[in-house]
Amino acid sequence: MRILSFINLAGVLALGVLCVTQWQDNRQFNQEINRLEAIRIGQAEELDDRDATISGQTEDIEILRTQITTLTADLQKTNGELRLEQHKVAQLESAGEQLKESVRKWSAAVEERDVRIRENHDQIRDLARDLNETVAQYNELATNYNHAVELLNERTLAYNDLVGKYSELAAATAK
């Protein structure tokens, strides 16, 4: 009977060690989950900022297009006036050159914005890929956690069966 008490004590101690170990593992998993969630939130905020920037740049492009259209219309009007008023050729040519330079500057600005938009798009795509990788890692972590819990449950059942068999054997031997 005394041996059974020692065995029970050993079993309780083993179960206590197992509980502490499992608690530590769960704590580490939760800390990792919290860290990954903080990263995900930060990346979501960055995506929102990028979306706002893209939206503003899209509006700027529309304004630039309107201004370029206006400038183009002005240039055509100026060209028509040049044909009608031959004696103001020098003045109108100067104005035409100025307008052409403005159009070139606007075109360069539009091209620069297009480049920035493409860069922002690439960054957003990279962030989305990173987010997908983080989610995949999180899912893998959850799968590993579930596997560990299943393994613990299997071992607990096996331990309980062994204790039951040992108790039956001890009871049979004690008679």
* pTM over 0.85, yes/no: no
* Percent of the chain at pLDDT exceeding 70: 93
Domains detected in the chain: 2-174 (1.10.287)
Residue 75 burial class via C-beta count within 10 angstroms: exposed 0-12, middle 13-18, buried 19 and up: middle
Query: Is there a contact between 46 and 127 (Cβ–Cβ < 8 Å)?
Result: yes
State the helix-helix crossing angle for 2-84 and 89-174, rounded to 10 degrees.
170
Could you report how far apart the first and last alpha carbons of the chain are, in Å?
A: 11
Distance CA 20, CA 14 (A): 10
CA angle 153, 155, 160 (to 5 degrees): 95
* Rounded Cα–Cα distance for residues 170 and 4 (Å): 8
* Residue ranges, the chain, pLDDT below 50: none
- Token pair of 25 as six digits: 């593992």
Q: How far apart are CA 145 and CA 20, in angstroms?
A: 16
Report CA-CA distances (Å) from 84 to 33, 40, 79, 98.
76, 65, 9, 20
Burial class (CB in 10 A: 0-12, 13-18, 19+), 86: exposed
Among 107, 78, 71, CA closest to 94:
78
CB 144 within 8 A of CB 53: no
**What is residue 83's predicted lDDT score, i.e. its pLDDT?**
67
Residue with tokens 């006036």: 81
Q: In Å, how far are 3, 86, 106, 123, 162 from 43, measured between CA atoms?
A: 60, 62, 34, 11, 50
